[in-house]
Every structure is written in C-alpha cells, then in structure tokens.
Amino acid sequence: MSDLIDELLAGKHRALARVITKIEDRRSGHRDLVSQLHQHTGNADVIGVTGSPGSGKSTLVDKMAATYRDRGLTVGVIAIDPSSPFTGGAVLGDRIRMGSNIGDMDVFFRSMSARGSLGGLSTATTDAVKALDAFGKDKIIIETVGAGQNEIDIVKTADTVMVLVPPGSGDDVQMLKAGILEIGDIFVVNKADLDGANRTVQELREMLDYSDGAILQSSGHHGAGSMEGTDGLQIEAESEGWDPEIIETIAQRGEGVDEVLDTLDSHATYLDDSGERERQARTRYAEEIRTLVREDVNDLMAEELDHRGGMDAYLDDVVTRETDPYTVADELVGPLADCVRDRRKE
Amino acid sequence: MSADQEQRTIRCLVAKVGLDGHDRGAHVISRAFRDAGFEVIYSGLHRAPEEIVQATVQEDVDVLGISILSGAHDTLVPEIIDGLEEYDAFEDTLILVGGIIPDDDEAELKELGVSEVFGPGASMEQMVEYVRENVPEKE
C-alpha cells in the first residue's frame, strides 16, 4: 500500500494517477493513502476556476498552465464535468482544450466526473488536490462549471477563487442571483473582444462596489475597457481586506493571461501577509473533519439499521402511525449516544 | 450517502491519432460508452501518439480505444504502446483499435498487445460487452 505513496512521492506519474483513481472510486484503503499524504501537503497554491458553460474556462486553464510552465513551475489540473444522473456515464471533454501542453508530463491533467447523485465529490476533489500537492505540483487548478451549490462547495476548497464571466451574460439581477460575487477573489471577463465586454466589466465593478458596502464611486480611474492598465494591482491597498479584481482576457489568443497569473500571485501574497491563508486552512480542515465524522457516523448507523432488519421494518410502523420518524431516530442513535457519554465519564 | 461507498466506474479514453479527420465513429462510440455508464474522455482530433500516452497515464483509464481510419496504424499504434510501457501503463490498460485494419495488420497489432480490433460492422453492444468482460482489474 505505502509502496504506491513512495512511488508518488518519488515523482512517478503512474502512481499519482492510480492514487487519484483510488480516491475517486472510494476504493478500500484510500483513506490510509490520503492520511499518509497529508504530512507532505501544504506547498501548492490551489486555484479554483468556475464560470458558466462556454465561458472559456478550459481554454484559459490551458493557457495558464502553459504560462506557469514558461515560468518554470509545475502544474496540476483537476477538471470536473457533470455526469448523467441516469446512467452515471459522462463524456469528459475539457482535455480537448489542453492543446498548449502537448506531451508535457509536468502538467498533470485529470478529468473527474460528478459521479451521479452520490455525494462526496468535494471530498474526492480535496483528496485529489492533496495527492497533487504531495506529488510536488507548484500550482493546482480546479476547474468546474459554476452551476450550483455543489460546484461552489468545490471551488471553496481552493485558496483563490476565480470566476469567469462571459460578456453579455445578463443584467445585474442575474449576477446577484448566481451568488457568485461572494465567492470570487478574481473575476475574469473572458472573450473580451466580444461586444458587451466593457459593459460586463462595468456591471461587475458596480456590483462588487455595492457588495463592499461602499457608496458607488464614479468609476473614473479604473474605468471599463482599460485593457492595458495595471490598475488592477493597486486597488487593494485601500482597505485591509482583499478587493476582488476584474481582469479582461482573450484566452484563445493568450491575451491577459500574464495579468491573471500576476494577480493570482498577489492574492497569494495577500493570503500570506494577512494571515488569511492560515485562517482559510483552519476553516477548511474543520469542515473536512466535520464531513468525515458525519459520513462515518452515517455509515455506522446504516450498519446498525441493517442489523435491526433494515429501514422497511420501521417504515411500516411509521406509515401505520404506530411510531414516528423522531422516535425511530432516537431509538437508533440513543444507544450510540449512551455509549459515547459513558465512555466520557470514565 | 456515504463517501466511502465504493464507486468503481469504467473509464475510457477515445483517441484519434494522426492526420485523420474522420471522427464520426469516435463520437458515436463515445456516446455509446457514456450511455453504458462509462466515463469517457475524448481526445479530440489530430492527436500525436505522445498526447495519447500522456492522457492514458494521467487519466488512469481502464480502456484506450484508438480510432484510426488513415491506414497509419502500423506506425502510430506501436508508438503509443512504447510510450505506455515507458510509464508502466501498458499492463493494466485494455487497448482497442477501431477502423479499417487489414487482416494481416490485425494479427500484427494483436501481437503488439492490442486486445481487439473492431472493424466496420461491429455493433455498439458488442463493443460495450467486450469492454465489460475484459476490463482489467486494477489493484
């Protein structure tokens, strides 16, 4: 078992791939693997990229990876696509866009599917990130369609969250509704050569100013359409928190990618300097522990339920009003609670 | 639901290599595999053998389906297999070839380590069935 970990730590690509497979399949023994990995993690910057379908995520990620490679850094990418809720099957197409990193093994690209209705995708993603981190990747990018709570949970496992907004993606209300403003550290208006890009930048800027609680400023000095400006970098100095940046890119031609990476770097610096990185990590680990505890207790109780003859026996009684769901829950969990409390007294 | 429930899913890479733009078959097969509940990674057109190797290794697929209609299988397939061996990915990957492959060449490809060759007339069910029965058990 730990041979695999040794191989992974020694930089063997196949071992890394296999570890991620075990994590994805929730194969027996994967927990041991991940817990062995933990001590080797904490060195990578994790970047979450989300946005609506067709906003250019994969293309931008491809260019980002290539640019990081030019800067001498290694990159891991996890691209998550939806799977069919009916068959569980999926066509994972993000790899097609990875044309800038042909044959470059130091860009480790892995496609993952949401695997139907079974939960645990964010757990699997977190664990896969750990594998890439322990492998020694400098930058890890998680790419997912920003469509719902699930995806938001996933990108929240990243240090920095980048939201792609295509031009003309609707009025102000749409942006509020999507709930993406709260999670984005960096907003990228991709396909900035299209009509409506300026307006989208403008709208985003206004929304972000509102959400800051600030009175809307006239957007004179960092107005829309200032592609060449590096003004993105100086705004955050005003307050101690991080003010989300807005960057325009044309990912297909690689325009604006350097600026994206520089902004990511300055966000990383901000995280370090402000102590936010540690705070984030603590919150994240707390969440991870809670999730695991919840799942383990769930498993234990499912086992107990089976042992007592399965759910159906209880259902009959509930349907005929002989008992009720609360009583059943008490009956099942009661012994566990007693057991734990007794132990505590000793 | 539990995160510990084992969720073994068959993963396939459907690959187009070389200068061959005929991807109808690859698309149809990708969909059939998806509908069979597999996870399919489609490579896109005009891939170099090294890209296919990179994808097979990184994605840790169970099945590599190579679609070639250009007649260059004798050159491209061995290159891919060499690459897979280099990264220790040859042993536990089921390699299939689809396309127009003459009988003599088919024997040669199987000699190299291709498990099965599917020519014109092969049915979707047949292929899905073959994959289900022959998918390597990964340790």
**CATH number of the domain that B105 lies in?**
3.40.50.280
Helices (H), A107-171: 121-135, 149-155
Q: How far is B87 from chain A (nearest CA, A)?
A: 6
Region A46-71 average pLDDT: 91
The answer to whether residue B48 is domain-embedded is yes
SS3 of B65-124: EEEECCCCHHHHHHHHHHHHHHCCCCCCCEEEEEECCCHHHHHHHHHHCCCEEECCCCCH
The answer to whether residue A16 is domain-embedded is no
- Poorest-pLDDT segment among A79-83, A249-253, B13-17: A79-83
Residues of B with CB under 8 A from a CB of A: 1-9, 11, 30-31, 33-44, 48, 50-51, 53-55, 57-60, 87-89, 138
A233 and A300 fall within a common domain: no
Q: How far is A120 from chain B (nearest CA, A)?
A: 5
Determine whether the interchain pair A96/B42 forms a contact, defined as Cβ–Cβ distance below 8 Å.
yes
Nearest to B56 by CA among B75, B72, B79, B34: B79
The reported pLDDT for the residue numbered A217 is 44
Is B111 a residue whose pLDDT tops 60?
yes
A304 and A338 fall within a common domain: yes
Domain-ending residue, one of A247, A274, A301? A274
On average, the pLDDT of chain A sits at 84
Nearest CA in chain A to B55: A109
Is B66 a residue whose pLDDT tops 90?
yes
The reported pLDDT for the residue numbered A282 is 93
**Which pLDDT band holds residue B1 (cuts at 50, 70, 90)?**
very low
The answer to whether residue A280 is domain-embedded is no
Query: How many domains does one find in chain B?
Result: 1
Is A156 a residue whose pLDDT tops 80?
no
Taking the C-alpha atoms of residue B118 and residue B47, their distance in angstroms, rounded to an integer, is 20
The reported pLDDT for the residue numbered A167 is 85
Whether the Cβ atoms of residue A138 and residue A73 lie closer than 8 Å to each other: yes
Q: Which residue has the tokens 């057109």?
A: B45
Determine whether the interchain pair B39/A27 forms a contact, defined as Cβ–Cβ distance below 8 Å.
no
Taking the C-alpha atoms of residue A142 and residue A157, their distance in angstroms, rounded to an integer, is 9
Query: How many domains does one find in chain A?
Result: 2
A87 touches chain B (CB under 8 A): yes
A120 and A159 fall within a common domain: yes
Residues of chain B in contact with residue A89, where contact means CB-CB under 8 angstroms, are: 33-40
The answer to whether residue A201 is domain-embedded is yes
The answer to whether residue A211 is domain-embedded is yes
Is A223 a residue whose pLDDT tops 50?
no
A305 touches chain B (CB under 8 A): no
Structure tokens at A343: 């132990």
The shortest CB-CB distance from A90 to any of B4, B40, B50 is to: B40
Nearest CA in chain A to B84: A14
- Poorest-pLDDT segment among A125-139, A224-238, B114-128: A224-238
Structure tokens at B139: 């340790």
Determine whether the interchain pair A26/B9 forms a contact, defined as Cβ–Cβ distance below 8 Å.
no
Nearest CA in chain B to A101: B51
A219 and A305 fall within a common domain: no
Which residue segment(s) compose the domain that B57 sits in? 11-134
Angle at which helix A325-345 crosses helix A276-307, to 10 degrees, equals 110
Region A214-219 average pLDDT: 44
A127: domain CATH number is 3.40.50.300
The one-letter code for the residue type at A270 is Y
A143 and A201 fall within a common domain: yes
The answer to whether residue B139 is domain-embedded is no
Region B37-56 average pLDDT: 93
On average, the pLDDT of chain B sits at 91
Chain centroid to CA A11: how far?
24
The answer to whether residue A10 is domain-embedded is no
CA A81 vs CA A3, A231, B51, B56: distances in Å: 31, 34, 21, 18
Determine whether the interchain pair B6/A291 forms a contact, defined as Cβ–Cβ distance below 8 Å.
no
- Poorest-pLDDT segment among A143-147, A263-267, A314-318, B40-44: A143-147
**Which pLDDT band holds residue A147 (cuts at 50, 70, 90)?**
low
Q: How far is B66 from chain A (nearest CA, A)?
A: 15
A263 and A309 fall within a common domain: no
Q: How far is A208 from chain B (nearest CA, A)?
A: 36
Determine whether the interchain pair B58/A109 forms a contact, defined as Cβ–Cβ distance below 8 Å.
yes
Q: For the segment B8-33, what is each residue's pLDDT rounded down to a tens digit?
A: 789 999 999 988 888 898 999 999 99
CA A293 vs CA A287, A298, A319: distances in Å: 10, 8, 31
Which residue segment(s) compose the domain that A86 sits in? 39-274
- Poorest-pLDDT segment among A198-202, A237-241, B7-11, B39-43: A237-241
The answer to whether residue B4 is domain-embedded is no
Q: How many CB atoms lie within 10 A of CB B133?
A: 7
The reported pLDDT for the residue numbered B75 is 92
The answer to whether residue B1 is domain-embedded is no
Is A227 a residue whose pLDDT tops 60?
no
Nearest CA in chain A to B53: A103
ipTM score here?
A: 0.89
Cβ neighbourhood burial of A239 (10 Å; 0-12, 13-18, 19+): exposed
Higher pLDDT residue, A176 or A328?
A328
CA A135 vs CA A19, A27, A132, A140, B18: distances in Å: 11, 20, 5, 11, 32
A253 and A118 fall within a common domain: yes
Taking the C-alpha atoms of residue A339 and residue A343, their distance in angstroms, rounded to an integer, is 6
Taking the C-alpha atoms of residue A122 and residue A142, their distance in angstroms, rounded to an integer, is 11
A227 and A99 fall within a common domain: yes
Determine whether the interchain pair A123/B3 forms a contact, defined as Cβ–Cβ distance below 8 Å.
yes
The reported pLDDT for the residue numbered A195 is 86
Is A169 a residue whose pLDDT tops 90?
no
